[in-house]
Amino acid sequence: MPDKKLLESLPFRAIVAYAVRCARLARQVYPDKPQWPHASSSQILDHCLNLAASFCSNKIVLAQGSKPAELAVNAGNIALAAATETKGHAPLKADRITAAAFAAHAAASAYTAALARDYGTAAGFASTAETASAKALKAVGNDSFWRFAEENFKKLQSIASHASDWTIDPSENGPLGPLECPADAFPSQLSAGSQEEFTLWIDPGSASVDELTELFSAMSDLCRALGGNGLTFAPSESERPLVVDHSS
């Protein structure tokens, strides 16, 4: 697996591109409107990753300044707040939110280090983004992140070997391709376009509405991590508590 030493062998923009790719994959399991640490945190993380990605493609040129550093600090604060505020919540959801936030923080920090031309620090943060992203994906049942990471690293190595000073688009439209883990890691997943419907009976016991919402959200995230489109929860017309429409 790519470690700090291997990442240091890449050009600056490739190091940041690797961090961005890892963090953006983890971002897929971070809620768009999380209850904690706060609803706008996803927008801040997206801004961090977009700015770091723009550095990779050289669409903007920023001298060393406070803006990138402030964004990295903001992402770090979100991660720390998530780590604190998620205590007592469902462990898997807490793990994915905290880890995804730390991944974005690491990607933004790699960008800040790259602006300072500090290979070692940039590679170190890229490695942190890699580790945090793996944890975020693992929290939703996806164990194939490392294959995604290795494939991306090899592609970046190949591209870098043909140019000394280059730029790259780290988005899905660029040469690194889709932001997804290898499909064959999940041989039991449903084929595209198929769908199943099943009934889920819920006995809430003493669970609150928020706790049940957490459970349903985690189930939907797991479905997406396995290649589906998530779960649609709809109230039943009968006395049954819930009907789940699972489309993939």
- Give 42 or 36, the one with higher predicted confidence: 42
The more confidently predicted of residues 241 and 166 is 166
Task: Judge if 143 and 31 occupy the same domain.
Answer: yes
Q: Flag the least confident range among 84-88, 96-100, 159-163.
A: 84-88
- Whether residues 179 and 202 share a domain: the answer is no
- Is 242 domain-assigned? yes
Cα→Cα distances 122→9, 18, 115, Å: 11, 11, 9
Amino acid at 144: S
Task: Please tell me whether residues 86 and 56 are part of one structural domain.
Answer: yes
Instruction: Tell me if 190 is assigned to some domain.
Output: no
Which pLDDT score, from 0 to 100, does residue 230 have?
Answer: 62
Domain containing 146 equals: 4-184
Do β-strands 231-234 and 195-199 pair in parallel, antiparallel, or remain unpaired? unpaired
Reply yes or no on whether the pLDDT at 202 is more than 60.
yes
Q: What is the pLDDT of residue 5?
A: 92
Assess whether 180 and 199 both reside in one domain: no
pLDDT at 246 over 90: no
DSSP 185: G
Residue 176 has pLDDT above 80, yes or no: yes
105 occurs within a structural domain: yes
**Domain tally, the chain:** 2
Boundary of a domain, candidates 164, 184, 204: 184
| Contact indicator for 94, 87 with CB cutoff of 8 Å | yes
pLDDT, mean of residues 80-105: 69
Write down the pLDDT at residue 19: 95
Helix, strand, coil % (nearest 5) of the chain? 55, 5, 40
Mean pLDDT of all residues belonging to the chain = 74
Whether 104 is covered by a domain: the verdict is yes
pTM of the model: 0.68
